[in-house]
Each structure stands twice: as C-alpha cells, then as structure tokens.
Structure 1
Amino acid sequence: MSGFNDRYGPDVLASGMHRRASLPKVPAERGLVVEETATGWVGAVVRVERIGPERMAVLQDRHGRERAFPLGHGFMVDGRNVELTRPQTPPGAAARTPRRTASGSIAVPGAKARTARASRIWVEGRHDAELIEKVWGDDLRIEGIVVEPLGGIDDLAEAIAAFSPGPTRRLGILVDHLVEGSKESRIVARAIADAGPAGEAVLALGHPFVDVWEAVRPERVGLRAWPQIPKGQDYKRGILAALGWPAESAADVASGWQRILGTVRTIADLDPELSGRVEHLIDFVTQPAGPG
C-alpha cells in the first residue's frame, strides 16, 4: 500500500470554499437537498434551529444520519454554489427541537460514557486534543473513543506498529499542515506504507494549518484573518504578539491558548477544514468491524 489512506479525498486544500460575491440566496426549506461543500455531506433539510448564537441547517442523509451546519455560504443546490438562508416560517409554526451538543449532534439526556473502545484518534498535541474535547467531547464519550496527543509525528511509523491496528483496533490520525509536498505528508505516507496490510485500519487526515490555533475562526478573537508568521519565528508567540497579548513565556502561551479556546462555543466557530476532518475520523474509528 503506497501513500497515506485518503478515502475522504487526497487534497486537503479542496475545501469547497467558493467566491462569496453574488451567490443566489436559497431558503433552507424542509426537504431541500443540499451539499455542504467543505465536508461533502449531502442531505435534505429537516429543520433550521439555533445552536448557541448560530442558526444551523440540519441535514439528514439517505441513511437517516443528521448533521448541523451554519447557514450562509459553503453549500451547493442542484450543482450551483448558493448562500443558504433562514426559511420564512409562518408565525407559531416553530417546532420544539431537541438539545444539541457543541458539534451539532442530538444530545442524549442522561447518557453515560461508553466503555472505551480499542480504537483511537491521535492528534499531534495537547491543544488539538483540548479543542476536539470541547466541541466533540459529548459525542466521543457516547461512542467510547479516546483522543490521545502524540507530541508530534516524527516517530509515527513506530507508534503505528506498537498500536497494532486491525479490524477492531482502528486508528484515526489528525495531522497539522498535511499539504502536498510537505514534510508531514512524506512522514504519513511512509508510516502507513510501512504498516503493510494493517494500514487498511489506519486513516490519516490533515488540515492545511501550521497549528490548530488557526482552525478557530479568526473573528472569534477579533481578527479578519490569522496573521502570517515568518519562518523561523515561534508561531504561537507570533500570534500572541499580533493580538497584543503577553507572549514572552510558556505560561503566556498556555494562557493565550486558553483565551482562544474560551471563544469556541460550537462547531460553527471552527474552520470546516478542521471540523470536516474530525467528523470523518470519528466515523472511521466507530465503523463496525467487517466479516472475517
């Protein structure tokens, strides 16, 4: 097996982001079939509801699974890029909707954490793990999936071999800066190739950001866009300096990250380049084992 497992698409830059000017506005009416371009999720609108401060369209696919996405750009209807807008709801027609988790899943009242599966999701660092816990923690506890920080991927091949992936021990890996030609892409490709047949139970997906901080929508910290930090300069301290926050010590970095993390309320506060990959990894590691 050559290259890394890319069943959800090899080009992490193919985010489906399109020009936002002059897109037709389409109300998210019940039954409308929509594709969310960042994740490729296709489903019919079943309702529009508020999750935190956001209006979300809940799309149900042909298997009856539901996911919620913020209204606005990033959708296609009948092959056209559109802006999905709030439908015109007659007075008194709003239906009672179930509570949802930060990821947009339907919350299960009184649900207890499932005993941990053997399968795992690996991320590069503690900040990645904390962000995933904040948004997907409820879902992961119900599914029994543990997220573990690796502390980098330089020894990924050895870590995969020690994990011994298989049909009942699936492994999802979220990699920072996984873009074509990068050092990270070469490490991942080599590690999964070295795993041989066991590589079928490994799915490595990545986002194009240098660091997971950049996956938080910049508006949440008062920016139009995350600043570009020159090579050779510490990324996190450069971000903090650009924000005008303390940036001298490790304690400043830790405090700065907690301030950024504190602005994240729901999945709508994350770039789809990250959220789509995390959703795919959760799907992968929770798949039932095949026959044999």
Structure 2
Amino acid sequence: MNGHDSYGGDIFTGHSRAKKRAVPRVTAERDLVVEDAASGFCGAVVGFDRSYDGEFVKLEDARGAVRLFALREAAFLIDGEPVTLIRPTAATPKKETRSASGSTRVDGLRARVARTSRIWVEGVHDAALVERVWGHDLRVEGVVVEHLAGLDNLAERLADFAPGPGRRVGVLVDHLVTGSKETQLTTGLGPNVLVTGHPFIDVWQAVRPAAVGISAWPQVPRGEDWKTGVCDRLGWGTPQDGWRRVYGAVESFRDLEAPLIGAVERLIDFVTEPR
C-alpha cells in the first residue's frame, strides 16, 4: 500500500474525492429564525455585534434569552440544513414588514373610521405604551384608546358610555391580582365589558428590566409612592425623568413582559369582534 487510505476519514463528511456541496449564504435579516449548529440554541435574529474577534449575530429564543454567535462558515441551520449567515448591507436595508406589536404592517395605511367600542386604560403612561407598541394595529382596526385618570372613575365612565352589543369596552388594569382593590372594582361589569390586566404594581414594571438597562425593578415598601421610590433607588431623578427612560426604552413587544402583551391582545380582539 502507498500509505494513503482512500477509505479513511470521517464517514459523515463523504469521500475525499466527492465534490463538496456548496453551503448557501443567507442574509441574517431581523426575525429570521435559525439554529446554532454547535449548541442547538434556536432563536430569531435581533441584532449584531463586532469585536476584535470578528462579527457576531444576536439570537433571541422564545423565552427572551439573547446570545451572541460568531458569523462563521456553515455555523447555523435553517430547517435542519447548514447555512452561512451574512450581515445585511447598509446599502440594501430590508423593508420593515412587521409592526412594533409583531403584526404584519399595512403599507399606505389610512386610519379607519373609529369604532364605537373603546379600550380604556388607567393612566397616560399606560396609554402611551399601548400606542407605542400597538398603535399601527389600533389604526388598522379603528380602535381608540382612552385613559380613565384612575380606576376609581370606571363605574361613572361606564354609566355614561352605556356599553352594549357593538359598543364594547375593554379595560386594561394594573395590579390585577386576587383580592386587590383593582379586582374588586372590575367584577360583574356585564358581557359587553372585558377587563384584563397584569400583576405588576405599575405599567413601568411591565417593561422588561433588560430593556431599561437594569437587572430587576427595585422593591419599594408599601405606602411609599412606587415611581418615586424606583427613581430614588436607581438614581433616575424625578418620576418625569424616569418615565422618559422607560418610554424611550420600548421599541417593540419584545421589550414588554408577557402578561401585558397578552392582556392588550385580548382587549383588541374583544372590541373588534363582529356583533
């Protein structure tokens, strides 16, 4: 023998004389779902990073965990097939097809005539965050969001509005947990009123801590104003300063906690159902 083993090598790589199959190059557009071939981590493309080690892609899985992976040859899988991801070029940006809520964006949108049905939220911060994430969807559906200036005004507002078939009200409530004052104020309101909410003390807390650059929201003792206490503990200045940080950190549904996302989606479905 001449020392060359024509049958040796890794059987999974094919014969040494076999022509290697070209690995397709795929542009790593935002929200493209891929799997890292080495670790099995599966997630959507949410960004990129660059260091002295080279280019990296950021992947976010279904639980919100974000990890960095090097943009190496054949390092990823799509539908089980190896691909090489490449970073999009600035000269050919992808046209955004998704709204901030994750829904399909409607091009050339003209706002629909407002429905009679309404969504009510407790305060201006709740209304601003709902508009920031779901504003496109609300204009497509013709849904108006109004704030109550406090849940104590709910009964009076409902009496004036007189909900009925085709005239529904969806109410988004903070701190909607068993035994709370909020729960007591929102029970037995009839079939044309739907109350949903989240367990957080304030809608600020429904913004993911990572989005505002903190590890967790501070604990504020009962009896102390929550927003003031948060800003004091984080060194954010006044509650007005803190709100600017919170509002500016929210770009899409990915920056919000799941209970708030689910609550708003249910309200939109409720007030847009046919009679």
Does structure 2 conserve the Cα–Cα contact (< 8 Å) formed by 1:177 and 1:209? yes
Q: CA deviation at 1:145?
A: 0.4
Match of 2:106 in 1: 108
Query: 1:18-64: per-residue Cα shift (whole Å, max 9, x none)?
Result: xxxxxx96747xxxxxxxxxxxxxxxxxxx565999989xxxxxxxx
Query: Which residue among 268, 271, 290 is the counterpart of 2:257?
Result: 271
Does structure 1 conserve the Cα–Cα contact (< 8 Å) formed by 2:236 and 2:242? yes
Match of 1:35 in 2: none
Distance in 2, matches of 1:211 and 1:131, equals 12
Does structure 1 conserve the Cα–Cα contact (< 8 Å) formed by 2:169 and 2:192? yes
Distance in 2, matches of 1:165 and 1:50, equals 42
Match of 1:66 in 2: none
Distance in 2, matches of 1:179 and 1:52, equals 39
Q: CA deviation at 1:170?
A: 1.2
Query: Which residue among 129, 133, 136 is the counterpart of 1:138?
Result: 136
Superposition pairs for residues 60-209 of structure 1, below 5 Å?
A: 71-73=61-63, 88-89=77-78, 90-91=83-84, 99-190=97-188, 192=189, 199-209=190-200
Question: Which amino acid is 1:141 matched to?
Answer: R
Query: Which residue among 265, 271, 274 is the counterpart of 1:285?
Result: 271
Q: CA deviation at 1:93?
A: 11
Give the structure-1-normalised TM-score: 0.65
Structure 1, unaligned runs of 5 or more:
1-23, 29-47, 57-69, 75-85, 193-198, 248-252
User: CA 1:55–1:275 in structure 2 vs 1: closer, same or farther (change >3 Å)?
Assistant: farther
User: CA 1:266–1:55 in structure 2 vs 1: closer, same or farther (change >3 Å)?
Assistant: farther
User: CA 1:27–1:223 in structure 2 vs 1: closer, same or farther (change >3 Å)?
Assistant: closer
Q: CA deviation at 1:138?
A: 0.8
Distance in 2, matches of 1:155 and 1:237, equals 24
Match of 1:221 in 2: 212
> What root-mean-square deviation, in Å, do the aligned CA atoms of Structure 1 and Structure 2 show?
3.2
Q: CA deviation at 1:216?
A: 0.6
Which gives a bigger RCO, structure 1 or 2 (Cα 8 Å, sep 6+)?
A: 1
User: CA 1:230–1:145 in structure 2 vs 1: closer, same or farther (change >3 Å)?
Assistant: same
Query: Which residue among 227, 231, 245 is the counterpart of 1:240?
Result: 231
Distance in 1, matches of 2:58 and 2:110, equals 28
Query: 1:242-284: per-residue Cα shift (whole Å, max 9, x none)?
Result: 111213xxxxx22320121101111000000111111111111
| Alignment: residue pair count | 214
Query: 1:192-217: per-residue Cα shift (whole Å, max 9, x none)?
Result: 1xxxxxx1111001111111010111
> Aligned with 2:170: secondary structure?
strand
Does structure 2 conserve the Cα–Cα contact (< 8 Å) formed by 1:52 and 1:265? no
> Aligned with 1:72: secondary structure?
coil
Does structure 1 conserve the Cα–Cα contact (< 8 Å) formed by 2:196 and 2:263? yes
Match of 2:72 in 1: none
Q: CA deviation at 1:221?
A: 2.1
Match of 2:91 in 1: none
Structure 2, unaligned runs of 5 or more:
1-38, 50-56, 65-74, 88-93
Structure number with bigger Rg: 2
